[in-house]
Amino acid sequence: MTATTTPPSSLDAERGDLLGERPTVGALCLGGLIKHVASIEEGWMRFVAEGPSAMRYDLPDGVTWADLAAGTAREVPQWAIDHQSDFRMLPGETLAGVLARYERVAARGRSR
């Protein structure tokens, strides 16, 4: 599934509460998967429009990739926080909101 495709019709608005449930020990949930697909699609569309500068993942001064991976970084860049948030439903997020974002991204992708 990419953002330019339609989400499965089995997503039921009355069962939107299930989107945040984690069926495994990991943090990923169905709502997070939909959010992640939309985010990745947005990133690739920025890359197409802006080039490689759209895919920059700068680290704060004095922070290494090893620090970030080990969870010992003294400062975590906002892009890393946003990336982690894409894998889970945040408080206040709803099925309608997640799907609306997905549809907006898909519409922009189809119009290119």
Provide the pLDDT for residue 50.
Answer: 92
Provide the pLDDT for residue 28.
Answer: 76
Neighbours of 20 (CB within 10 A): 18
Cα 106 to Cα 5: distance, rounded to the nearest angstrom: 7
Cα 112 to Cα 109: distance, rounded to the nearest angstrom: 6
Provide the pLDDT for residue 59.
Answer: 94
Q: Where are the domains of the chain?
A: 16-110
Average pLDDT of span 19-35? 73
> Binning pLDDT at 50, 70 and 90, where does residue 109 land?
confident
Cα 72 to Cα 75: distance, rounded to the nearest angstrom: 9
Q: Are 68 and 49 in contact (CB under 8 A)?
A: no
Average pLDDT of span 87-102? 90
User: Which pLDDT tens digit goes with each residue over 38-94?
Assistant: 999 999 999 999 999 888 889 999 999 999 999 999 999 999 998 888 888 899 998
Q: Is the pLDDT of residue 16 over 60?
A: no
Element (H, E) at 109: helix 95-110
Q: Is the pLDDT of residue 10 over 60?
A: no
Provide the pLDDT for residue 92.
Answer: 92
